[in-house]
Amino acid sequence: MRKSAIYLLFILTITVTPLLQSCYKEPGPGTARIMVIDENQLRVPYATVKLVNGNVNMVGNTDYTGIATFENKLEVILNVEAKKGDKIGTGICRIRPGETITEVITIY
């Protein structure tokens, strides 16, 4: 009788413990991938990309594949400006926590 009571308590502990833990996890930072292309649909490496909105100001450069990556912990809508030489392109992107978005900006 004592062994069955201990066994029952053990099984109950194993089945109830996972139910007491929360499944909610704080989302990580949101990621914006800005791809810069030219009028011929070719990727533009080493272009300067600015993301601006109020007090949020992020600046970066595209890599050799023409993509610049930015992260932000809060949800925000940003104006995007890409520039290389005398060519400029603009757009808008929205960063949400836990998500990755890709925006394509064409420079002319």
Question: Could you tell me the two tokens for 103?
Answer: 């925006």
**pLDDT level of residue 9 (50, 70, 90 thresholds):** confident
- Once rounded to an integer, what is the mean pLDDT over residues 22-45? 92
Residue 9 lies in a domain: no
C-alpha–C-alpha distance, residues 4 and 74, integer Å: 53
Give the domain CATH number at 88: 2.60.40.1120
Residue 68 lies in a domain: yes
Q: For position 69, what pLDDT does the model report?
A: 98
Q: Is residue 101 predicted with pLDDT exceeding 80? A: yes
Q: Which carries the bigger pLDDT value, residue 37 or residue 54?
A: 37
Q: Which carries the bigger pLDDT value, residue 20 or residue 101?
A: 101
Residues 6+ apart with CB under 8 A from 53: 76, 77, 78, 79
- Once rounded to an integer, what is the mean pLDDT over residues 52-73? 95
Residue 3 lies in a domain: no
Domain count, the chain: 1
Tell me the average pLDDT of the chain: 91
Domain holding 78, by residue range, is 30-106
